[in-house]
Amino acid sequence: MKFFYFDNSATSSPKPQTVYESVDYTLKNLNTNPGRGGHQLGISCATAIYKVRKKIQKFFNVDNELNIAFTNNSTTALNFAIKGSLASNDVVITSNIEHNSVLRPLFTLKEEINLEVEVLPYKDFIENFILRIENPSLKKPKMLILNHMSNVNGVSFDLEKIGLICNRHKIMFIVDGSQSAGLIPIDMKAMNIDILCFTGHKSLFGIQGTGGICIQNGISLKNIISGGTGSHSTMLSQPQEMPDLLEAGTLNAPGILALGCGIDFIDSIGLAEIKSHEKFLKEEFIKGIKKINENSINSGNEARIILYTSFGENDGPIISLNIKGISSSDLSTYLDEEYNIITRSGLHCAPLLHQELKTDLTGATRFSFGYFNTIDEILYAIDALQKIVIQS
């Protein structure tokens, strides 16, 4: 059955052919526990993983490939970054476009160790951030943690400008690159990012169960998980050098090697080309929605579709919408069952942005496009939405 897959913000699908082939190859030919044996297979697998560290180092301009630890996803990486660097009474600034994988660790620490969490609105963020940190009567924040790109409306922050401010004020700068990595360039050095957390299975085209944390020189974290690393086995505490500090337990070798193929695929197409294709799809989709609203108005009715997206140069191909009179979950289910169109309804784990958009009670239906979507698929979705508006 042909599905029209517009849920790439949840996980990208399909993957490049090389990613599928890599998982198959690794399981059949390199299926050992990397770093746990001195045998030929173990060394080959560990060497292949090291090469993926090098690719990631280059892709995000990380100081040192050994400062990259692989994790299961960005949620784990964000927990490492947040819980591994904050202490009682520290002040953290964040924004209202954050995902629960940032908000929940922060608000858990607020309860547990009296962390002070300040949430600034994403609109006019830079102006408000400067006002806040230059206010001498307020406590100096230790950290700024920001979601690079919203998974609800695609809005993105200008990390270069924000990183410069953090650097001048000596504020640790942590970035959640879950939505942006693989879509727009992230240069840790140029953007003064201290810690970058990424997930492998979205725009980096890896598979689920992969992600990582990249730490610049001079930043140290406490580990929140301890266990076997295949190194320093006589030590009863966690080795302190990276990546072993954060890589307790067996690595997901098939996933990591497939992630390397995802990055090779991006490099072969180029980020600019990927972004330009997805921007084109987004523009055509918006054009179609505007036409549906115009059709409603021309036939004497009100515009029915409310859009939640943003149009900055680096904003992502992520559009949430509501059709007046239909709940977001009904719309998503109807699109799925009648048209094989895959979207995601609800709050997208981003409750504060939905509050700001005034959709916290209704949710919204999200369309998120990916490199493999085509213009024909966009036109099909527009046609389906037009029919639903007419019928409802």
Task: Summarize as ranges the residues that interact with ligand PLP (CB under 6 A).
Answer: 9, 73-75, 99, 101, 147, 151, 176, 178-179, 199, 211
CA dist list (Å): 364 to 68, 89, 317, 348, 351: 36, 36, 16, 9, 12
Contacts 24+ apart (CB under 8 A), 158-164: 158/126, 158/314, 159/186, 159/191, 159/193, 160/190, 160/191, 161/126, 162/125, 162/126, 162/129, 162/191, 163/190, 163/191, 163/192, 163/193, 164/192
- Which has the closest alpha carbon to 282: 320, 248, 252? 320
CB 320, min distance to ligand PLP, A? 13
- Which has the closest alpha carbon to 169: 130, 114, 214, 224? 130
Q: Which residues contact 380 (CB under 8 A, 6 or more apart)?
A: 4, 339, 341
Which residue, 176 or 315, is less far from ligand PLP as judged by CB? 176
- Dihedrals φ, ψ of 98, to 5°? -70, 150
- Which has the closest alpha carbon to 211: 166, 262, 167? 262
Q: What is the CA radius of gyration of the chain?
A: 22
Collapsing DSSP to helix, strand or coil, 164 comes out as helix
- Which has the closest alpha carbon to 386: 339, 328, 345, 333? 339
Distance CA 171, CA 150 (A): 22
Q: Which residues contact 243 (CB under 8 A, 6 or more apart)?
A: 53, 66, 67, 68, 69, 70
Alpha helix (H) ranges present in the chain? 17-29, 40-60, 74-83, 100-113, 125-133, 159-169, 253-269, 271-298, 328-339, 351-357, 375-391
Collapsing DSSP to helix, strand or coil, 145 comes out as strand
